[in-house]
Amino acid sequence: MKTQNSTLATLPILFGFFVMGFCDIVGISSDYVQRTFGWSPAMTGFVPSLVFIWFLFLGIPIGNHMNKWGRKNTVLLSMAITVIGMLLPLISYSSVTCMIAYALLGIGNAILQVSLNPLLSNVITNQHLLTSSLTAGQVIKAVSSLVGPEIVLFAVAHFGDDKWYYCFPILGCITLLSAIWLMATPIKREDSATTQLLPISDTFFLLKDKKILLLFLGIFFIVGVDVATNFISSKLMAERFNWTTEQVKFAPQVYFLTRTIGALLGVFFLARIAEMKYFRVNIIACLCSLLILAFVENDITNLICIGAVGFFASSVFSIIYSMALQARPEKANQISGLMITAIAGGGVVTPIIGIAIGKVGIIGGVCVTLVCVLYLTYCAFGIKTGKLN
């Protein structure tokens, strides 16, 4: 009976990972924002920033206060914020309300990413099962990233190009269902008395350690690569090959599909191959894929390269995250909050890409992504594993 109750409590938490994937609609939806409001490429580049910049401000504070509020309550708070944001454009549709909707989606997602993973440990005590469940959650998130563009296109197909924002209330309704399911599921609250509330400055102080700083930037840039490839994939196919709105949806879908496959295979290979060896092989392959994408203009080749970036970069986040925890295991909670904060890289890199596209065309956006991968190549070959001195 205890195992059955644990399984029933796990299901709504895992469904929360589907909500976590909603932030990836910024790639395809930014195309509609740009056309609707006549924004420049540089202005459009700030759309992902509205979603991902909140990790910079909320990751550590939410992590520090989560045990005070309770993990389940923190997850429910994130979903409430997301629902409000997703319904806002229906009340008043303008460029301002759309920007606020994206911001609330990002705020909710930042809180969700900090709180949902730890909530799983409230119902799963076996470490092996917990790892498997976390992996399953990431797969569910990847599936959500695949479905996201279809939800946007569903709204466009049924309500018209000018009503693309109807995808927001669809996402809001799914989030509301997830929140109701979780709210109705009894989950024992964690013991908050065992966790001391530390000043935010104590966590940022860890960045004085060179290795932690380099790994923090590694998370920053791998998320930047992820969001950037999602952001520019459809734009690249449209600009280079005049693909239609219906055709360009395949670019981010190929990216998310190969990323999902890569993550699944990564779980298998990382159990058998040294993580640094796997990191080095994959990041070199990712670098080669981006070089081909930058300088070879063939639609099939470019689509394959977009998929290759997703495949080869899929396990890099978890490898760098693991390296950071291994470096300072006695600071695991603070390291975790710090690395989640680095997800803000997705909000910093894309405006730079938008400016680069506006100045030199789509090749500029690819080259900015290439710079991010060059830094990750340095991480793969220049940082040693093991505990810091």
DSSP state of 92: S
Query: How far does Cα 95 stand from its chain's mean position?
Result: 24
Buried b / exposed e across 227-252, counting CB within 10 Å, b at 16+?
A: bbbbbbbbbbbbbeeebeeeebbbbb
CA distances to 174, 352, 363, 364, 385 from 359, rounded to whole Å, are: 39, 11, 10, 8, 40
What is the secondary structure of 250-300 as a DSSP string? Answer: HHHHHHHHHHHHHHHHHHHHHTTS-HHHHHHHHHHHHHHHHHHHHH---HH
- Going residue by residue through the chain, which has 389 residues, state the pLDDT in tens, using 9 for 90 and above: 444 456 677 889 989 989 988 887 777 777 777 777 787 777 777 777 788 788 888 878 887 777 678 888 989 999 999 999 999 888 888 878 888 998 999 999 988 988 887 787 778 766 556 555 666 777 788 788 878 878 888 888 888 777 888 888 999 999 999 999 999 988 877 765 445 566 777 777 888 888 889 999 999 999 899 888 988 898 899 899 998 877 887 888 899 889 888 888 877 787 778 888 889 999 999 999 999 999 999 999 999 999 999 999 988 887 887 777 677 766 666 777 788 888 888 778 888 888 888 888 899 989 999 999 999 999 999 877 554 43
pLDDT score for 389: 37
Residue 182 is encoded by which pair of tokens? 């979780």
Give dist(CA 108, CA 356) in Å, integer. 29
> Three-state DSSP class for 191?
coil
> Which domains, ranges and CATH numbers included, belong to the chain?
1-188 (1.20.1250.20), 198-389 (1.20.1250.20)
pLDDT score for 387: 45
Amino acid identity, residue 206?
L
Give dist(CA 282, CA 305) in Å, integer. 13
pLDDT score for 192: 56
Residue 344 is encoded by which pair of tokens? 């803000």
pTM of the model: 0.74
C-beta atoms surrounding 202 within 10 Å: 12
CA distances to 306, 348, 358 from 28, rounded to whole Å, are: 15, 18, 18
Q: Are 186 and 310 within 8 A, CB to CB? A: no
What is the secondary structure of 354-382 as a DSSP string? Answer: HHHHHHH-HHHHHHHHHHHHHHHHHHHHH
What is the secondary structure of 200-247 as a DSSP string? Answer: HHHHHGGGGSHHHHHHHHHHHHHHHHHHHHHHHHHHHHHHHH---HHH
Half-sphere exposure of 259 (CA within 13 A, CB side): 31
pLDDT score for 7: 67
> Three-state DSSP class for 83?
helix
Length of the chain measured in residues: 389
Query: What are the backbone dihedrals phi and psi of residue 190, each rounded to the nearest 5 degrees, phi first?
Result: -70, 160
Residue 80 is encoded by which pair of tokens? 């409430």
pLDDT score for 134: 65
